[in-house]
Amino acid sequence: MSFQIETFPVYPLGCNCSIVSCDKTKEAIVIDPGGSEDRIFKYLKSKDLRVTQIIHTHAHFDHCLGTKSIADAHEGCKIGLHKDDLKLYQNMPMQCEAFGVEFTGAIRDLDYYLEDNQILNVGTATNMEVLHTPGHSPGSVCFVLRSSEKHIVFSGDTLFSGSIGRTDLWGGDYETIIKSIQNRLFTLDDETLVIPGHGEASVIYREKMYNPYLN
């Protein structure tokens, strides 16, 4: 396998941060660096990786608080987010206050907007497709990695193992998230590995069969 994936929970709410890297070029994409920057930096240094992009499944604070410090440390790093979550991204202090989390940093301007069906290259090893999956937030997206070895979807807070993302936060909508899962995620290969924004991994066929919110 010519690429590596490392996933671990980060501060403050246990968001799963994933780092996808190319073995040949040592370039990496960081998905949802919610916090725990020291742990992220430690992994990047241990593998001698250079972050070229930071991408977000959505703009809730627990998925974004580490973005600026990581981007600042890697020259040329680009930050991507779907445009429909821009207001959430710009209102990070308000989000933190609502959850009783101290906002001590600053946000860094986005470099580009993620678009539905956009292809993002991970060095020369593989690529990921962006799927717009609104419902948890207006600009929620998932990232689908397809290779000869495996198919993986980084589902953010759209789909969890045995559950779905909450829809009572800013811009959330229950009917929309159900439609996103059924029309965009459940059309993926049944064996696709699901790496969610929180909690343990799953596979698409298991969620189709047993997820109580979708059956």
* Residue 110 placed within a domain: yes
Before 212, cis peptide (omega within 30)?
Answer: no
* Residue 142 placed within a domain: yes
Q: What are φ and ψ of residue 159, in 5° steps?
A: -130, 130
Q: Note the pLDDT of residue 149.
A: 85
Which residue is listed with tokens 């207001």?
87
49: domain CATH number is 3.60.15.10
* Residue 54 placed within a domain: yes
* Residue 176 placed within a domain: yes
71 vs 111: CA distance, rounded Å: 11
* Residue 42 placed within a domain: yes
Q: Note the pLDDT of residue 1.
A: 67
Q: Taking a C-beta distance cutoff of 8 angstroms, is the pair 3, 147 a contact? A: yes
* Residue 215 placed within a domain: no
Handedness of CA 162, 167, 169, 171 (dihedral sign): positive
Give the range of the structural domain holding residue 162, as residue numbers without chain letter: 3-210
pLDDT per residue of the chain (215 residues) written in tens, 0 to 9: 699 999 999 999 999 999 999 999 999 999 999 999 999 999 999 999 999 999 999 999 999 999 999 999 999 999 999 999 999 999 999 999 999 999 977 899 999 999 999 999 999 989 999 999 999 999 999 999 999 889 999 999 999 999 999 999 999 999 999 999 999 999 999 999 999 999 999 999 999 999 999 98
Conformation bin of residue 48: beta by default, left when phi > 0, alpha when psi is -120 to 50: left
Can you read off the two tokens belonging to residue 47? 């593998």
In the 8-state DSSP scheme, what is residue 61? G
Q: Note the pLDDT of residue 96.
A: 96
* Residue 123 placed within a domain: yes
Which residue from 77, 81, 34, 37 is spatially nearest to 56, judged by alpha carbons? 81
Q: Note the pLDDT of residue 215.
A: 87
* Residue 147 placed within a domain: yes
Domain count, the chain: 1
